[in-house]
């Protein structure tokens, strides 16, 4: 959990400092994945499987938002 917390802080730094919008979106995606890993780790430690269901929902929403952003950037580059 400590390593995940450190990587979360580094990702937050990249989110704030990121030079482009694509870097910020990538760091948001990474933050969501780190939070998902934290939820799964907590689920294993507490032996409570409900957190894994929540983690799956977070991953699905994160994936859809990343795909939507990619399509937006692709259409913007064509024009």
Distance CA 10, CA 15 (A): 9
- Residues 39-53 have pLDDT tens digits of 999 999 999 999 999
Distance CA 8, CA 13 (A): 9
Q: pTM above the 0.75 mark?
A: yes
Pick the more confident residue, 19 or 77: 19
Phi, psi of 47 (to 5 degrees): 55, 40
């Amino acid at each position: 959990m400590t390593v995940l917390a450190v990587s979360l802080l580094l990702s937050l730094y990249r989110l704030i400092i990121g030079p482009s919008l694509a870097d910020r979106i990538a760091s948001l995606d990474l933050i969501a994945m780190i939070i998902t890993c934290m939820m799964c780790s907590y689920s294993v430690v507490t032996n409570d499987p409900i957190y894994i269901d929540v983690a799956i929902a977070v991953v699905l929403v994160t994936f859809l938002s990343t795909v939507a952003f990619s399509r937006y950037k692709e259409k913007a580059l064509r024009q």
